[in-house]
């Protein structure tokens, strides 16, 4: 892994004995000893888990009219939120494909903070910088900040132990000081549970992580790797770029049209996406719950009862909560909720029912 980038917590993960792997060009923990993915997943659903997600990108667009400029580029409508609030959005191509999905944090009309996916950060920054008018600055701050996620029903107790705020609404953020150092506390996450993403300066991230692990331990929480992060997000039906969103999978296909400001005068890909939405011809993302024995995986064919291929799995996993296989799949529009289908898992047909995610009870907005 000598060519991979390291998070500011890399040495911490190695010391804990984590299984490390390449994730978006970064060496990141997949799981830790003492139970692995299932134990970490369960900790988040029932108690609390702490994730290093410092591989995620960070970027800033600033200057007079910065928010208006970002709004003319990315899909969602910043006019729907105010300063101190966050919003899920997408960066699309002219043909409507997704370059990346990201969270935009509106600090003010002149300051927007972005968190793209690790592998796509440079491209998102490049596109924004190329389009930015004079007076607007686009900065790639990938290695200026770390990101630590605290997720689970006991996440408030963990943050309170550090004296961090916990009373702000879902999809909002506050900028405070922790031990005299600035941190951003975001009420966001990728697990479906109540939780926070804490953004400290890069060289402060280790101190924040150490304190959070101690506090989480007091709540019977665990450090969690990206393996559990994937099973948690799949149970919620949250998309992963490269699987469920891509230059070939548009927001319309992915069931993410809610994250598009259709009434805005402009955003990248608007013409193509508007035409696609009206035509109603492309495949659509659906959920699959396995009723037989087997675990669906990406690129497995989905067939109807006659054996005709009607779609393809984009993300599939074993659900530790439901204790059965689940998946997201792009399916023909003729397929409806409740239909019985089969998934071709390495030549073996596995029965599944078409359903609507999430696959588990949602706790993300709970107060």
User: What element of type H or E holds 130?
Assistant: helix 121-131
Q: How many CB atoms lie within 10 A of CB 247?
A: 15
The pLDDT tens digits for 174-229 are 999 999 999 999 999 999 999 999 999 999 999 999 999 999 999 999 999 999 99
pLDDT category at 1 given cuts 50, 70, 90 is: very low
Report the pLDDT value the prediction gives residue 268, as an integer from 0 to 100: 98
Query: What pLDDT sits at residue 367?
Result: 55
Residue 362 has pLDDT above 50, yes or no: yes
Is it the case that residue 323 has pLDDT exceeding 50? yes
Whether the per-residue pLDDT at 234 is higher than 90: the answer is: yes
- State mean pLDDT over 36-54: 98
Q: What is the mean pLDDT of residues 29-43?
A: 96
Per-residue pLDDT at 361 = 87
Q: Computed from CA positions of residues 208, 211, 216, 219, in that sequence, does the dihedral angle turn out positive or negative?
A: negative
Given CA atoms 102, 41, 144, 365 in this order, what sign does their dihedral have?
A: positive
Provide CB contacts within 8 A for 62, sequence distance 6+: 110, 111, 112, 136, 137, 139
Across residues 339-350, what is the average pLDDT?
A: 95
The backbone region for 37, taken as left when phi is positive above 0, alpha when psi lies in -120 to 50, beta otherwise, is alpha
Task: List, by residue range, all CATH 3.30.1360.120 domains of the chain.
Answer: 5-53+144-236
pLDDT of residue 40: 98
CATH class of 5-53+144-236: alpha beta
From the list 123, 139, 136, the residue with the least C-alpha distance to 268 is: 123
Q: Starting at the edge strand that comes first in sequence, how are the strands of the sheet with 111-115 ordered?
A: 85-92, 98-108, 111-115, 59-62, 137-140
Cis peptide before 12 (omega within 30 of 0): no
SS3 percent helix, strand, coil of the chain, rounded to 5, is 25, 35, 45
Domain with CATH 2.40.30.110 in the chain: 283-355
Secondary structure class of 31 (helix, strand, coil):
strand
Output the CA–CA distances (angstroms, integers) from residue 88 to 19, 32, 259, in the order listed. Answer: 30, 30, 7
Are 317 and 325 a contacting pair, CB within 8 Å? yes
| Mean pLDDT confidence for 163-177 | 97
Q: What is the mean pLDDT of residues 137-162?
A: 98
Q: Which CATH class name applies to 283-355?
A: mainly beta
> What mean pLDDT do residues 85-97 have?
98
Structural fold of domain 59-140: Alpha-Beta Plaits (3.30.70)
pTM over 0.85: yes
Beta carbons of 354 and 341 less than 8 angstroms apart: yes
Domain with CATH 3.30.70.1400 in the chain: 59-140
The pLDDT, as a whole number, for residue 2 is 57
Mean residue pLDDT across the chain: 96
DSSP 321-335: TTTEEEEEEEE-TT-
pLDDT at 34 over 90: no
Give per-residue pLDDT as tens, 47-89: 999 999 999 999 999 999 999 999 999 999 999 999 999 999 9
């Amino acid at each position: 892994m000598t060519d991979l980038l390291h998070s500011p917590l890399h040495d911490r993960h190695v010391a804990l004995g984590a299984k490390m792997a390449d994730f978006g060009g970064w060496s990141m923990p997949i799981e830790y000893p003492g139970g692995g993915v299932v134990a970490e997943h369960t900790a988040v659903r029932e108690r609390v888990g702490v994730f290093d997600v410092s591989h995620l990108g960070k970027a800033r667009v600033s200057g007079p009219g910065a928010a208006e400029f970002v709004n003319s580029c990315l899909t969602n409508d910043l006019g729907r939120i105010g300063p101190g609030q966050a919003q899920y959005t997408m960066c699309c191509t002219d043909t409507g494909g997704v370059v990346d999905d990201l969270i935009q944090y509106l600090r003010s009309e002149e300051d927007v903070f972005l968190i793209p996916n690790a592998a796509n950060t440079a491209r998102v920054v490049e596109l924004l910088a190329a389009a930015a008018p004079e007076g607007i600055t686009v900065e790639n701050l990938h290695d200026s900040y770390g990101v630590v996620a605290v997720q689970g029903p006991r996440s408030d107790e963990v943050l309170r132990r550090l004296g961090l705020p916990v009373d702000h609404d879902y999809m909002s953020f506050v900028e405070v000081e922790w031990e005299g150092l600035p941190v951003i506390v975001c009420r966001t996450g990728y697990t479906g549970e109540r939780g926070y993403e804490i953004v400290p300066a890069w060289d402060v991230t280790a101190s924040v992580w150490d304190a959070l692990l101690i506090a989480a331990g007091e709540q019977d929480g665990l450090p969690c790797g990206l393996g559990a992060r994937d099973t948690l997000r799949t149970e919620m039906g949250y998309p992963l770029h490269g699987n469920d969103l891509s230059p070939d999978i548009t927001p319309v296909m992915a069931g993410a049209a809610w994250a598009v400001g259709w009434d805005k005068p402009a955003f990248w890909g608007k013409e193509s996406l508007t035409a696609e939405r009206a035509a109603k011809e492309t495949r659509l993302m659906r959920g699959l719950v396995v009723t037989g024995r087997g675990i669906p995986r990406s690129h497995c064919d989905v067939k109807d009862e006659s054996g005709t291929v009607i779609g393809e799995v984009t993300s599939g996993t074993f659900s530790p909560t439901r204790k059965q296989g689940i998946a997201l799949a792009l399916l023909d529009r003729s397929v409806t909720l409740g239909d019985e289908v089969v998934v071709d898992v390495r030549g073996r047909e596995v029965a599944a029912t078409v359903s609507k995610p999430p696959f588990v009870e949602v706790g993300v907005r709970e107060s």
